[in-house]
Each structure stands twice: as C-alpha cells, then as structure tokens.
Amino acid sequence: MSNKDQWFYPDELSGDLRDTGLSPAQITETITAAWEYTRASIPEFTNWERYLAEVRFNAIAIVAECSGDLLDIASEGPVLGYDLDELIDTLFAGTPGHESMAREFRGALLFMQEKTSGRRDTLLWHRYANALAYSPRDWFRIRDCDGLARFTMAAALACNDIDTDWPQEEEFRFLAELVLILYDTVAFYKHRAEGEICNTWAYADPSLRQEVYGQFREALWALDTAWSRRPDRRCLTTFIRNVGGPIHMTMRRYRFVEDGLTIGEPETTQMVDYARRHAKLWYRLDAIPETDRADEPFHKIMTDKDRLLFDGFADMLKRPEEENCSHCHRQGVYGTDDLGQFSGVQLCSACLQDWTAYLTTFAARARGTLPLAFAKA
C-alpha cells in the first residue's frame, strides 16, 4: 500500500497557515483535515464565505490539539495568522451565536492548547481535571465546548443561512450529549492511545459502552424522524449522525484504511507511539513532569473570563476543592504513561453509579426538550 497521501482542498485555502511555525507538510495536512472535517460534519451549505470561515476554525483547532505552543488564544493578537474576531464576524454576525460562539471557541482552544503545552501541574490544569469529573451534567457541558459540538452545530445553522430560531441552551446541551456519547464511544481506543482526559468513558463505566451506544443511536433516530421535515434542523441531525461514527471511516485523520478497514480496534504500543509523534495530527498526553516552571495561567484567565470562557465555565473552575468527592482518585500530575489508560480523575464506585444512572436515562431526560418520536408498535 502506498504511503504517499494526496491531499485535496479548495484553492482559497492555499495561502493559509504560512509563517506559523508549521512545516509545509504539516500545513497541507492540517488544511486537508480541516476541510475533510467540515465536509464530513456539515455536508450541505448555502453560504460559501461562512463555510470557508468554519474550515479555518477547524484548522486552528487541529493545530491547538496537536501543537498548542504555536498559538496563544488568550492574547488579543492574530491566531495562526487569522484575525479571530474577523472570522467570528464572518461566520456568526447576524445570528444568535455571535457573542456566545466567540467565547465557546476561545474556551475550547484554551484547554486544547493547555493539553498540548506540556504543562501538567498548573492550578488551571488541576481545576480543569476536577471540573471534568464533578458531575455528568458539568462534564457534558465542558466536553461540548472541548469537542466544539454546539459550536459546529451553530456553524451548520449559519452555513445554511439559518439565522433565527436557534436551539435554546437546554436543547444544545442534549444535542451535544447525543453526539459526544456516540463519538466518544467509537473513539474509545483512539482516545486511550492519546491518554485523553476528555472522553466520556474516562469517567463513566466502560463496560456500558455497547448498551449506551445502542440507546443513544436509537434516540438519534427518534429525533431524526421528528426533524426530518424541518429544513432548519436537519443539518443538526446530519451533523450528529456523521460525527457519531461515519467520520471514522471517511476522514483520513482516523486509521480506517491503515487498520485493515476496521474501526474501534484496541490500541497497540505502536499506535501510542504514532500519537506521540503526531502521526495523523494526534497527540499523546504523557505524564511528563514539568521541567521548566511556566507561568500560572489560572488567575489571568479568570480575570478575562467573559471573553475566554462560556457562561458558567469560570464557576466550575473556581469550585472549592472540598466540594469535590473525597473518595474519587485524584493525581498530582494529569497525563498517563500506561497503555490502556485515560488521564483524569478516576471515579469512586458511588460516583460511577451516578454517571450510569445519568447515561442510561438520556431519552427520558431529553424528551421534554427534544421532540423525540415515539417508537412504532
């Protein structure tokens, strides 16, 4: 099998990411991955300018996920050569998400960048690890931000010129939970190879994966059936269906061809090593000890929270230590050196039960907010 990839993307993107510290090969692969992700997650659109802006947001996120030291999202300057405010205006001006999606994106980037910065024992990183494990509801809200779930759904609406009557906060939460469970379940071994701190199964009981995926896929079809005649909502179920599984086959960032036309194979030491070397733009969250004491970013970010974090995120990060469960297993350094392990807080059995109850009641919780169709007899 040939190792030489050929890449494809529109000419408009040819000059992007120059002089950012990325090699020409990395630039080409990043733009291609951003383009493939946009095509796979938002296959239909009516507004090309907004669509190109969405590709560029994805390019920035891909770099942050892999080489966070190349950008500084907290600064006001350009990010990888892009004027972030201008990109936000292009994609979201005139929509209900103009201000909130700017905060959503900056908050996501901040922690993607922190993850790949090599810093592992800052107050910011500890507070983040604690916030992720605090409760399933908080977990899904932070993972929603980290995974750019509602951001991409908002982009899908904007790219289709749907500028009014967007989902409300609770609807966005359920839609994000739906796509994230599906995605995280399929990405389970990929994320473990990366030592991820942001996979649902790093917290919830992994033995429930099959059962829960089945339940969530059923909920997706119930929603899709209800929204199939809603042109202003179909782009959201299309997004969830594609990101919840098929992108692992269509996008070259995943290893479907390399792994013999399979997805969901357990990780190997070789895959972990590939992740460490950024093959396919992955990143391995090793528990590297901090060698050069970096600045502590926590307080600076808190003072700029209305620009950098979604509404409510700062409160999750400021939560006093004593409010965290004292039985869950916390660590000094969040990252992992072991094969078959995620990073992050390990939940105690009582907390695990709470998460199980939450995950296995999705349809019942969501029904009052999302119009899930009832099953045929």
Using the contact rule CB under 5 A, the part of the chain among 5-13, 120-128, 317-325, 359-367 near Zn ion is 317-325
329 by DSSP, 3-state: which? Answer: strand
Using the contact rule CB under 5 A, the part of the chain among 128-136, 219-227, 334-342, 346-354 near Zn ion is 346-354
Query: How many beta carbons lie within 10 A of that of residue 225, not counting itself?
Result: 16
Question: Measured from the CB atom, is 182 or 328 closer to Zn ion?
Answer: 328
> How near is the Cβ of 131 to Zn ion at its closest, in Å?
14
Using the contact rule CB under 5 A, the part of the chain among 107-115, 169-177, 284-292, 318-326 near Zn ion is 318-326
DSSP code string of 221-266: HHHHHHHTT-TTTHHHHHHHHHHTTTHHHH-TTS-TTTTTS-SSPP
Euclidean distance between CA atoms 259 and 274, whole angstroms? 13
Euclidean distance between CA atoms 265 and 254, whole angstroms? 12
Residue 325 binds Zn ion (CB under 5 A): yes
Question: Measured from the CB atom, is 203 or 282 closer to Zn ion?
Answer: 203
> How near is the Cβ of 293 to Zn ion at its closest, in Å?
31
> How near is the Cβ of 325 to Zn ion at its closest, in Å?
3
Closest residue to Zn ion, Cβ-based?
325
> Burial, 249: exposed, middle or buried (Cβ in 10 Å; 0-12, 13-18, 19+)?
middle
**Residue 155 and residue 56 in contact, taking contact as beta carbons nearer than 8 Å:** no
Residue 348 binds Zn ion (CB under 5 A): yes
Please identify which residue in 230, 277, 327, 329 interacts with Zn ion, judged by CB under 5 A.
327
82 by DSSP, 3-state: which? Answer: strand
Residue 328 binds Zn ion (CB under 5 A): yes
Handedness of CA 207, 208, 213, 214 (dihedral sign): positive
Residue 351 binds Zn ion (CB under 5 A): yes
Question: Measured from the CB atom, is 208 or 363 closer to Zn ion?
Answer: 208
Question: Measured from the CB atom, is 272 or 351 closer to Zn ion?
Answer: 351
Question: Measured from the CB atom, is 166 or 342 closer to Zn ion?
Answer: 342
> How near is the Cβ of 4 to Zn ion at its closest, in Å?
49
Nearby residues of 37 by Cβ (< 8 Å), 6 or more positions away: 58, 62, 247, 251, 253
Using the contact rule CB under 5 A, the part of the chain among 98-106, 168-176, 216-224, 341-349 near Zn ion is 341-349
List contacts with Zn ion (CB under 5 A). 325, 327-328, 348, 351
